[in-house]
């Protein structure tokens, strides 16, 4: 089982749309996939038309094992299951700290899913607290969407220095460009700079497109609803580039 | 192939009504119809069916499942329709089938064609909560072929069991019936004009203990004639080696029945038909011998040192070449005038009603009494011959004992239905242990002799090959070694068979008080 976290310490950068579309692509290629919605805002859960409710709330979620298996819902798509979000997940940080090794709790929670799934995608909320550290410990790879704007790039740098300070392997971090507008000079400049400076930067650009925003209305991955579209192609490209860079082959 | 719930539809139900029945609580969305075809395979003698297994091929995949179950146990990718075990890719499926089908060919029994219309039941959020598949199955693709079965499959989605249960309840209220112990297999086989388990090489003859012996003998012989005819019809097709084997066993049993069910038919009748069937057996001897060698090709090679294994190939190539000639000879024989004459006479003899006045001493005796007497006598004969071997285990005597055992075995099988099934089964099993040992020993003797003579018969090019000669020599040595091991063990097997517990069990069933009535 490969665990991939789609993570960013900045909001509104396209984490959820990325997690939703990549999970669909992996499942379609034959990998048994589970997408975990860790965000109490439950956007991923909403996209898959599932009610945002864990069977026994965050408390049991923290226990892991059969408690989370019972909450898993099959999506409308073959090979793709969802662990829905729950509003009580907002207390997750406080919950982790009650356990012995609070920063490794998530890893333990996900352990029983190992035999059942080829890929687990974590859709993470905006955070750089104890939940973030749990994500860093649980994930084999961390995929970070970065908008080529000053503030977004700055936040990404903050993330890298946080990892360095806390001895997290920055080798498992991969970033790609999100909501790119090539007409903007600033975007192009920052893209060039980032590609030069950061090793894990993928040559993958998700354009800023109305079609992707429309996903909220259609409640379907854009790679499914508009399979031949520019947006779909961009996500396909991202998934290929990621697998190449991470040396993983998730085709089931 | 689905691991879901299966429903039968109420009579004269249409697909449109189906959506109506569920529309109250759910939005039902139809998806494009797809077609699927699937072929069911088994051996001629239903080896898979007898083990409650169903082997299906669909597109380029082979699936194995249990009867009445939809869950696939093993599957494998195949490039062409499977015939023999050796055609299957290495893996779990092959390992599972190997001990069941052995050397028999897989035959395509029937092809099923299904039209599948998937539906999705959506909740208020338009999330799929259950998948339904409407399936119409036909035994052929043509338009005018009537539908064999119509089913509705309901597939629950993980995390939506409550919704699925509600749907099932609605369906049941609308007259759908959940099908548990039902399998399309039977309908499919019947549509192909076949009966599952309809042929077995084993004897299954029901006799009435009070029956006149000549009538019972005719019933047994009629059964055997049927086996002969069924298998003879397939010999020409040469699908596998077992048609000939079953054909030969049945003719041998006929001869044995004529000889062993004593004094039920006039002497001249018995001797005429015995010699007729001896002809049938004799003409197929060479082909069967070659089949046995070729079936054991891998086993023989395994006996050789690895360096010599490929050097024995010329021998097997030679045997294969001879086999096609031998097969032609058999086909000529069974299509000959002589053969059809024998069969015609035989059939008319069997069909003739028994005469009111018994024509032979035991003809009018109740079959139970005759069976007891014959089996008991033959059993004692086996013990006597076995005892002599213990004194002097010589090849000729072992051969004679093997023949006597075979006669006893056939008698017990002919009359098995007259005795308590469990007890007779156990006694047959004990006899089989002894027979297997004697059979192995005999095979090794025959093979050794055959190989000793074969080197001269090989085509000139190979005759000169020292390596081939070495390989054959090495094989003879290995066989001889094995022979000696069996020879050493045979005394114990005979001793076990002659044990007092076995004697008692035999005595209980067969040593009766009524023997005076039988001559």
> What is the complex's ipTM, to 2 decimals?
0.86
What spatial distance separates the first Cα and last Cα of chain A, rounded to whole Å?
10
The alpha-carbon gap from B23 to the nearest alpha carbon of chain A, in Å, equals 19
Show residues of chain B in contact with A71, CB under 8 Å: 159
DSSP designation for A157: H
For residues A75 and A77, give the distance between their C-alpha atoms in angstroms, rounded to a whole number: 5
Any A CB within 8 A of B128 CB = yes
Show residues of chain A in contact with B162, CB under 8 Å: none
What's the average pLDDT block by block, 10 residues per block, for chain B (519 residues)?
72 77 83 94 96 94 93 92 93 96 95 93 92 90 84 91 89 86 90 91 90 94 95 94 96 95 92 92 92 92 90 90 94 94 94 83 92 94 90 85 95 96 95 94 90 79 75 91 89 90 90 59
Phi and psi torsions of B233, nearest 5°: -65, -25
pLDDT of residue B453: 85
Any A CB within 8 A of B157 CB = yes
Between A190 and B20, name the one with better pLDDT: A190
* Exposed e or buried b per residue across B305-339, where buried means at least 16 C-beta atoms within 10 angstroms of its C-beta: eeebbebbebbeebbeebbeebbeebeebbeeeeb
Between A54 and B39, name the one with better pLDDT: B39
pLDDT of residue B461: 66
Given CA atoms B70, B71, B77, B81 in this order, what sign does their dihedral have?
A: negative
Which of these, B282, B377, B364, B295, lies nearest to B329 by C-alpha position? Answer: B282
Partner residues linked to A34 by β-bridges? A81, A120
Q: Where in the sequence of chain B do the CATH 1.40.20.10 domains occur?
A: 211-365, 368-519
Token representation of residue A55: 């069977």
Token representation of residue B41: 């395979």
Any B CB within 8 A of A71 CB = yes
Any B CB within 8 A of A76 CB = yes
Show residues of chain A in contact with B158, CB under 8 Å: 72-74, 81
Mutation target among A76, A80, A82 for the B interface, most CBs of B within 10 A: A76
Q: Does the pLDDT at position A128 exceed 70?
A: yes
| Architecture label for domain A2-246 | 3-Layer(aba) Sandwich (3.40)
Locate the chain A residue with the closest alpha carbon to B160.
A73
Domain B211-365: give its CATH superfamily. Answer: CHAD domain (1.40.20.10)
Longest alpha-carbon distance in chain B: 89
Show residues of chain B in contact with A81, CB under 8 Å: 158
Q: Are A75 and A48 in contact (CB under 8 A)?
A: yes
- Partner residue facing B125 (CB), from A49, A74, A81: A49
DSSP letter for each residue of B126-169: --EEEEEEEEEEESSSSTTSPP-EEEEEEEEPTT-HHHHHHHHH
Phi and psi torsions of B104, nearest 5°: -80, 150
Q: Is A104 helix (H, G, I), strand (E, B) or coil?
A: helix
CATH match for B5-191 among 2.60.60, 2.40.320, 2.60.40, 1.20.1300: 2.40.320
pLDDT of residue A94: 86
Give the C-alpha distances (Å, rounded to integers) separating B419 from B295, B506, B509.
Answer: 36, 11, 7
Any A CB within 8 A of B12 CB = no
Any A CB within 8 A of B127 CB = yes
**Across residues A57-80, what is the average pLDDT?**
88
Contact A72 B126 (CB under 8 A): no
For residues B254 and B237, give the distance between their C-alpha atoms in angstroms, rounded to a whole number: 24
For residues A5 and A122, give the distance between their C-alpha atoms in angstroms, rounded to a whole number: 4
Query: Number of residue pairs across A and B with CB atoms under 8 Å?
Result: 24
pLDDT of residue B1: 42
At which residue do the structure tokens 């069967």 appear?
B288
Q: What angle do CA B157, B162, B167 make, to 5 degrees?
A: 80
pLDDT of residue A88: 86
pLDDT of residue A55: 80
Token representation of residue A183: 């007409």
Q: Does domain B368-519 have CATH number 3.40.50.740?
A: no
Domain chopping of chain A, boundaries: 2-246
For residues B405 and B430, give the distance between their C-alpha atoms in angstroms, rounded to a whole number: 11
The model's pTM is 0.80
For residues A120 and A32, give the distance between their C-alpha atoms in angstroms, rounded to a whole number: 9
Mutation target among B26, B126, B127 for the A interface, most CBs of A within 10 A: B127
């Amino acid at each position: 089982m490969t665990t991939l976290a789609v993570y960013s310490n900045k909001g509104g950068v396209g984490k959820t749309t990325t997690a939703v579309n990549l999970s669909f692509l992996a499942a379609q290629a034959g990998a048994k996939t589970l997408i975990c919605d860790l965000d109490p805002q439950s956007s991923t859960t909403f996209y898959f038309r599932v009610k945002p409710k864990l069977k026994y709330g965050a408390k049991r979620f923290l226990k892991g094992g059969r408690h989370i298996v019972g909450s898993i819902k099959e999506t409308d798509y073959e090979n793709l299951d969802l662990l829905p979000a729950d509003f009580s997940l907002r207390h997750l940080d406080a919950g982790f700290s009650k356990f012995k090794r609070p920063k490794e709790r998530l890893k333990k929670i996900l352990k029983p899913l190992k035999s059942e799934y080829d890929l687990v995608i974590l859709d993470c909320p905006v955070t750089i607290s104890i939940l973030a550290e749990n994500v860093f410990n649980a994930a084999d790879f961390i995929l970070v969407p970065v908008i080529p704007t000053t503030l977004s790039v700055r936040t990404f740098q903050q993330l890298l220095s946080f990892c360095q300070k806390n001895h997290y392997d920055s080798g498992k971090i991969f970033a790609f460009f999100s909501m790119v507008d090539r007409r903007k000079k600033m975007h192009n400049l920052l893209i060039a700079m980032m590609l030069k400076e950061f090793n894990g930067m993928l040559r993958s650009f998700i354009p800023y497109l109305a079609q992707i925003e429309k996903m909220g209305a259609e409640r379907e991955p854009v790679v499914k609803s508009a399979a031949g579209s520019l947006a779909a192609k961009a996500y396909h490209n991202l998934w290929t580039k990621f697998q190449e860079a991470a040396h993983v082959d998730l085709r089931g | 192939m689905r691991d879901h719930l299966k429903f039968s539809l109420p009579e004269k139900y249409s697909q449109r009504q189906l959506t109506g029945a569920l529309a109250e609580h759910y939005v039902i969305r139809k998806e494009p119809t797809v077609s699927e075809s699937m072929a069911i395979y088994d051996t001629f003698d239903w080896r898979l069916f007898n083990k409650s297994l169903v082997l299906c091929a669909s597109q380029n995949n082979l699936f194995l499942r249990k009867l009445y179950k939809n869950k696939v146990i093993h599957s494998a990718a195949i490039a062409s329709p499977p015939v023999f075990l050796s055609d299957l890719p290495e893996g779990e499926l092959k390992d599972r089938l190997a001990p069941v089908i052995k050397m028999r060919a897989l035959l395509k029994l029937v092809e099923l064609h299904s039209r599948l219309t998937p539906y999705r039941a959506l909740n208020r959020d338009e999330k799929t909560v259950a998948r339904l598949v409407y399936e119409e199955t036909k035994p052929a693709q043509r338009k005018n072929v009537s539908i064999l079965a119509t089913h509705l499959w309901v597939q629950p989605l993980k995390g939506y069991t409550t919704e699925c249960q509600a749907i099932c309840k609605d369906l049941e209220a609308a007259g759908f019936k959940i099908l548990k112990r039902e399998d399309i297999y039977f309908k499919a086989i019947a549509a192909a004009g076949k009966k599952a388990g309809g042929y077995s090489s084993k004897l299954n003859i029901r006799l009435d203990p009070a029956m006149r012996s000549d009538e019972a003998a005719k019933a047994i012989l009629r059964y055997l004639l049927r086996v002969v005819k069924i298998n003879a019809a397939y010999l020409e097709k040469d699908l596998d080696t077992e048609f000939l084997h079953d054909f030969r066993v049945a003719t041998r049993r006929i001869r044995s029945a004529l000889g062993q069910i004593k004094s039920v038919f006039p002497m001249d009748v018995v001797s005429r038909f015995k010699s007729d069937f001896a002809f049938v057996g004799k003409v197929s001897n060479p082909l069967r011998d070659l089949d046995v060698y070729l079936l054991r090709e891998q086993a023989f090679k395994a006996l050789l040192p690895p360096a010599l294994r490929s050097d024995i190939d010329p021998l097997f190539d030679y045997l294969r070449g001879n086999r096609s000639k031998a097969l032609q000879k058999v086909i000529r024989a069974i299509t000959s005038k002589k053969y059809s004459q024998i069969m015609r006479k035989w059939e008319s003899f069997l069909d003739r009603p028994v005469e009111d006045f018994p024509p032979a001493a035991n003809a009018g005796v109740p079959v139970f009494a005759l069976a007891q007497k014959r089996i008991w006598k033959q059993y004692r004969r086996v013990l006597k011959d076995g005892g002599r071997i213990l004194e002097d285990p010589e090849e000729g005597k072992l051969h004679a004992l093997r023949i006597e055992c075979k006669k006893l075995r056939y008698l017990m099988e002919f009359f098995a239905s007259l005795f308590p099934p469990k007890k007779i089964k156990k006694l047959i099993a004990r006899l089989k242990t002894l027979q297997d040992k004697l059979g192995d020993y005999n095979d090794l003797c025959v093979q050794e002799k055959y190989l000793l003579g074969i080197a001269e018969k090989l085509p000139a090019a190979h005759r000169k090959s020292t390596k081939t000669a070495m390989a054959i020599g090495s094989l003879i040595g290995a066989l001889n070694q094995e022979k000696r091991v069996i020879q050493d063990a045979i005394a114990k097997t005979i001793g076990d068979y002659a044990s007092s517990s076995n004697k008692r069990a035999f005595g209980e069933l067969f040593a009766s008080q009524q023997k005076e009535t039988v001559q």
